[in-house]
């Protein structure tokens, strides 16, 4: 077990990779009553083309299957796992993103029982034709709910523009048509390939004794048999900047027009974990400096009546296979807002917002928010697995932020801000 101390934040992280390939992270927090366990696999909605475990040829599975699989793992032959967690005084949840699927429990008692339940239910799949067919109706209703959500449609519309030939453009939950094709065998194929311990990590945070907790996890995993560790082969269509759709519009039942501006990352990213985390933080701070709520650009747009408090300009996503920024809001003049935003972004080099003084203030504010967030075990549990870059973790954020210079930010912004990488999507009210 490797012990790493983060003295700036007074945290100690314990890490071990088990013989079956599972990487375990333990974060003891002695002054807390609640414990969180998060079990994650490096598998999400974009992973729809791959070589199944034990085979040699690529297959394509129905869209939405990663999310469907997440739902079905909670259902077992003897009942629903949520009920078992409830009897043990725990709450449970799960979520699927474009690149990951995570299962979570939180409890103030019976921690070992709940951790065992988490590990066992995720590692013991049970799918039948009857249960799969039943789930299709439930997820179909969820799909309709997302279709009626204007903000979600705005976001997905932008992804469809930026990634028209890449699975990121497909809703995480899939479509009614795509999930209708899912079979129990499909679920087992995806499960065997992506839920191998070597493609997963377990993070536990709370009032725990590291050695005792790690021994418990080791014993649980030693009782189970897994296939030999083999690299997972995934396949994605090649992306070109010329594929980007510049602009689209739809009508929905909204009271005011909505806009979203996307910037697709089209340059290759750094390969090393720390450089990747530095790049992500550079672009995040760059967007805040240029268009954040304390910037002069924001105030000018606000005073002109072009934006309101729905304006959001801090959305930057960086995950395996893709990275992009999104800037969105409501406006009576959405196209005028987009025009102004593009002018600001494309002329960032001459902006009076990008100064060392402004950066120092933002870095202090960012670190302050970070320290505040670390008081929440829920935040730590949910963010830890989402912010893993090789050996760089959530707890390296302060060091990375402190080391950033304006030179770093400008250099990375030059790579990211490219005119041919811009795209817009609008939602207008239905015509009366």
Q: So which residues are the catalytic ones?
A: 70
DSSP state of 137: H
**Residue of 297, 317, 281 lying closest to 405 (CA atoms):** 281
Q: Are the beta carbons of 75 and 131 closer than 8 angstroms?
A: yes
CA distances from 35 to 8, 13, 162, 372 (A): 23, 15, 40, 19
Return d(Cα 388, Cα 394) in angstroms, integer. Answer: 7
Q: Is 242 helix (H, G, I), strand (E, B) or coil?
A: helix
CA distances from 92 to 78, 118, 137, 382 (A): 18, 9, 22, 13
Return d(Cα 206, Cα 187) in angstroms, integer. Answer: 33
**Rounded to a whole number, what is the distance in angstroms from the first to the last CA of the chain?**
65
Helix orientation angle between 111-122 and 210-222, rounded to the nearest 10 degrees: 30
CA distances from 25 to 7, 129, 356, 388 (A): 18, 36, 37, 11
Q: What Rg, from alpha-carbon coordinates, does the chain have?
A: 23
DSSP state of 98: S
**Residue of 340, 370, 358 lying closest to 409 (CA atoms):** 358
Q: Are the beta carbons of 232 and 199 closer than 8 angstroms?
A: yes
Return d(Cα 125, Cα 76) in angstroms, integer. Answer: 8
Among left, alpha and beta (phi > 0; psi -120 to 50; other), residue 160 is alpha
DSSP state of 103: E
């Amino acid at each position: 077990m490797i012990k790493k101390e983060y003295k700036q934040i007074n945290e100690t992280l314990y890490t071990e990779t088990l013989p079956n390939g599972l990487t375990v992270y333990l974060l003891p927090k002695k002054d807390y009553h609640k414990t969180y366990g998060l079990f994650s696999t490096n598998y999400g909605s974009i992973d729809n083309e791959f070589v199944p475990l034990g085979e040699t040829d690529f297959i394509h599975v129905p869209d939405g299957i990663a999310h469907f699989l997440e739902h079905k793992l909670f259902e077992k032959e003897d009942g629903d796992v949520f009920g078992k967690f409830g009897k043990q005084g725990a709450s449970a949840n799960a979520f699927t993103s474009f690149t990951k699927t995570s299962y979570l429990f939180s409890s103030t008692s019976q921690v070992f029982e709940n951790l065992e339940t988490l590990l066992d239910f995720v590692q013991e799949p049970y799918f039948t034709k009857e249960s799969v067919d039943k789930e299709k109706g439930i997820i179909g209703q969820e799909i309709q709910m997302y279709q009626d959500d204007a903000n979600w449609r705005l976001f997905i519309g932008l992804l469809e523009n930026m990634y028209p030939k890449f699975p990121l453009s497909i809703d995480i939950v899939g479509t009614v048509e795509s999930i209708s094709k899912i079979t129990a065998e499909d679920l087992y194929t995806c499960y065997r390939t992506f839920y191998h311990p070597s493609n997963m990590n377990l993070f536990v945070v709370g009032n725990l004794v590291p050695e005792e907790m790690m021994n418990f996890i080791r014993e649980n995993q030693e009782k189970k048999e897994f296939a030999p560790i083999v690299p997972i082969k995934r396949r994605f269509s090649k992306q070109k900047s010329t594929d980007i759709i510049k602009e689209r519009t739809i009508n929905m039942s909204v009271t005011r027009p909505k806009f979203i501006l996307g910037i697709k990352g089209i340059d290759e990213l750094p390969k090393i974990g720390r450089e990747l985390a530095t790049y992500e933080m550079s672009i995040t701070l760059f967007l805040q400096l240029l268009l954040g709520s304390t910037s002069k650009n924001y105030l000018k747009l606000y005073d002109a009546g072009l934006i309101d408090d729905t304006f959001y300009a801090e959305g930057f996503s960086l995950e395996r296979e893709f990275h992009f920024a999104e800037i969105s809001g409501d406006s009576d003049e959405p196209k005028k807002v987009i025009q102004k935003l593009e002018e600001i972004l494309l002329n960032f080099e001459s902006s009076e917002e990008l100064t060392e003084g402004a950066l120092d203030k933002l870095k202090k504010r960012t670190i302050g928010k970070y320290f505040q967030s670390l008081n929440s075990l829920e935040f730590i549990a949910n963010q830890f697995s989402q912010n893993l870059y090789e050996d760089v973790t959530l707890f390296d954020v302060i060091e990375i932020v402190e080391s950033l210079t304006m030179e770093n930010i400008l250099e990375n912004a030059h790579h990211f801000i490219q005119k041919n990488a811009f795209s817009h999507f609008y939602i207008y009210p239905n015509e009366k």
